[in-house]
């Protein structure tokens, strides 16, 4: 042992004989002029690269700010809605006939005693949303004791009044070119001045299904549809994808067949999503006769679409687990399945989860395949089951973006914001899960 140490030391320390054997000290090449020049050039190249990188990041950040900024500017007001305060008297006879519109109208007319002609009253009626009577009806249904009493309620205003309150209405246009007549604007201004027209938080946006009237339209139905679709997608693609990846990576022999399968999986990941929609149309709707517009079918199609993404990312994660862990487990007599379940899979979990959530996020934002299976439909009801007709968030956005009403523009942006929020939530979950599952090596 001692001579080993001595030998080692003498091997590392340059012996005087070798470095200055010829008495003329050789100038190190690392200190030559040419080397210094090259070194300078290397440093310059490095600075250039860093600058380019920082510029790229700055550009990306700027784009994001512009994009988000414009969406927020357009959409943030949709979270509020204009409401009108009314002093209603619930006449039992009218309530029994479920005739709520006259009750509201009478209450509104009472606020404008100077208006007596029919035309003037019709102008006033148009200030209210056509959905306002249903609001009142829901209120009474919840609390039947209200019948016969007089009470103050806030009901939704028409969408154009809503835009007017939010300052989005072009008052300077000539009367013939805008939807709101001068009389309506004057009435709304009077209500505003008396405090009977004000903005409140827009719960309809989150709870309601689609509607022709912007002030009654919400993305509640689309959110539930998205969740149901995602549920089906996850329930199918996660277990199937992970088992396929584990089998291919840990058990399957490496031969021509598995190579072929691998190539095909990679190809599938690159297939345009609309093709999956066509497949779903032909197979699930055409052959199996499943219902149109159903989250079940949407989920099946999305599962097919995300499967390759999950398989590929899971395989990458499994590959990254050091083989020494497998050898350690096998070496003490763990069976191959135990090795995978007890050691390899837990270590690969962070990567698998990241891939899975990225796949889910993609499925959540996907529109094209759903157009093929009829999920682009006007659906007023919030779906309650996997076979109910439903639509999903991105499709809802797509449909609203097509609507001419100004109030829908605002709601489109709001829906985009909500979709982005859900995506951020998903990705945040991915980060947190990765932190939880990550272990110190």
Partner 1 sequence: MSITSGIPSPLKLRPRGDGRAEQRSSADLPAKMTARGVKVFYCAKQALKGIDLDIHENRVLALIGPSGCGKSTFLRCLNRMNDTVEGCRVEGRIALDGEDVYGKAVDAVQLRARVGMVFQKPNPFPKSIYDNIAYGPRIHGLASGRDELDEVVQTSLKRAGLWGEVKDRLREPGTSLSGGQQQRLCIARAIAVSPEVILMDEPCSALDPIATAHIEELIDELRANYTIVIVTHNMQQAARVSQRTAFFHLGEMVECDDTEEIFTNPRDERTQGYITGRYG
Contacts with partner 1, residue ranges (CB under 8 A): 1, 3-5, 7, 11, 253-254, 322, 324-335, 338, 342-343, 347, 439-441
Decide whether 208 or 317 has the Cβ nearer to partner 1. Answer: 317
| CB 338 to partner 1: min, Å | 6
Residue 258, both tokens = 């598995």
User: What is the closest distance, in whole angstroms, from the C-beta atom of residue 10 to partner 1 in the complex?
Assistant: 10
**Beta partners for 81?**
200
CB of 336 to partner 1, least distance (A): 8
| Residue closer to partner 1 (CB basis): 55 or 341 | 341
Nearest approach, Cβ of residue 254 and partner 1 (Å): 5
Task: Please state, in angstroms and as integers, the Cα–Cα distance from residue 410 to each residue in 222, 378, 413, following that order.
Answer: 17, 19, 5
> ∠ CA(152), CA(154), CA(157), 5° rounding?
140
Number of neighbours of residue 374 by Cβ within 10 angstroms: 18
Q: How far is the CB of 17 from partner 1 (least distance, A)?
A: 17
Nearer to partner 1, 35 or 251 (CB): 251
C-beta of 1 vs 119, nearer to partner 1: 1
Measured distance between the N- and C-terminal CA atoms of the chain, rounded to whole angstroms: 33
What tokens appear for 420 in the block?
């982005």
Which CB atom, from 4 or from 193, has the smaller least distance to partner 1? 4
Q: How far is the CB of 435 from partner 1 (least distance, A)?
A: 15
Nearer to partner 1, 289 or 323 (CB): 323
Q: How far apart are CA 96 and CA 74, in angstroms?
A: 42
Comparison of 11 and 26: residue with beta carbon closer to partner 1: 11
Q: Which is nearer to partner 1, 287 or 441 (CB)?
A: 441
Strand partners for 233: none
Q: How far is the CB of 250 from partner 1 (least distance, A)?
A: 10
- Distance, CA of 381 to CA of 375 (rounded, Å): 13
For residues 90 and 140, the answer to whether their CB atoms sit within 8 Å is yes
CB of 370 to partner 1, least distance (A): 42
């Amino acid at each position: 042992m001692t001579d080993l140490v001595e030998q080692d030391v003498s091997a590392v320390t340059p012996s005087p004989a070798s470095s200055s054997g010829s008495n003329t000290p050789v100038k190190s090449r690392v200190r030559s002029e040419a080397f210094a020049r090259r070194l300078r050039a290397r440093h310059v190249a490095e600075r250039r690269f860093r600058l380019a990188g920082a510029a790229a990041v700055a550009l990306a950040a700027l784009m994001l700010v512009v994009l988000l900024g414009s969406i927020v500017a357009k959409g943030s007001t949709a979270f509020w809605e204009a409401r009108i305060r009314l002093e209603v008297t619930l006449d039992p006879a009218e309530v029994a006939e479920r005739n709520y519109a006259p009750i509201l109208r009478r209450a509104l007319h009472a606020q404008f005693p100077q208006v007596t002609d029919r035309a003037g009253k019709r102008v006033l009626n148009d200030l209210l949303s056509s959905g306002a009577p249903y609001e009142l009806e829901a209120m009474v249904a919840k609390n039947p004791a209200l019948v016969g009493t007089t009470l103050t309620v806030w009901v939704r205003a028409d969408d154009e009044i809503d835009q007017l309150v939010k300052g989005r209405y072009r008052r300077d246009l000539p009367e013939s070119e805008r939807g709101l007549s001068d009389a309506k604007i004057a009435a709304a201004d009077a209500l505003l001045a008396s405090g009977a027209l004000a903005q409140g938080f827009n719960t309809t946006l989150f709870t309601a299904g689609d509607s022709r009237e912007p002030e009654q339209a919400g993305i509640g139905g689309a959110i539930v549809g998205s969740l149901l679709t995602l549920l089906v997608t996850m329930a199918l693609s996660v277990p199937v994808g992970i088992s396929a990846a584990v089998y291919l990576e840990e058990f399957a022999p490496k031969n021509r067949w598995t190579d072929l399968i691998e190539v095909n999986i990679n190809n599938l990941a690159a297939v345009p999503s609309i093709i999956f929609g066509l497949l779903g149309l032909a197979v699930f709707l055409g052959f199996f006769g499943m219902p149109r517009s159903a989250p079940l079918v949407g989920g099946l199609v999305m599962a097919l679409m995300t499967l390759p993404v999950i398989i590929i990312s899971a395989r990458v994660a499994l590959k990254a687990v050091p083989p020494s862990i497998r050898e350690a487990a096998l070496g003490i007599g763990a069976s191959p399945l135990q090795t995978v379940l007890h050691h390899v899979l837990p270590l690969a979990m962070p990567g698998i989860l990241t891939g899975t959530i990225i796949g889910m996020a993609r499925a959540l934002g996907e529109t094209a395949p759903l157009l093929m299976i009829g999920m682009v439909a006007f659906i007023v009801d919030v779906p309650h089951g996997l076979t109910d007709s439903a639509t999903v968030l991105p499709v809802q956005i797509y449909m609203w973006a097509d609507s001419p009403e100004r109030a829908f523009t605002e709601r489109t942006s709001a829906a985009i914001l909500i979709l982005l929020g859900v995506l951020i939530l998903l990705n945040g979950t991915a980060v947190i899960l990765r932190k939880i599952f990550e272990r110190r090596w």
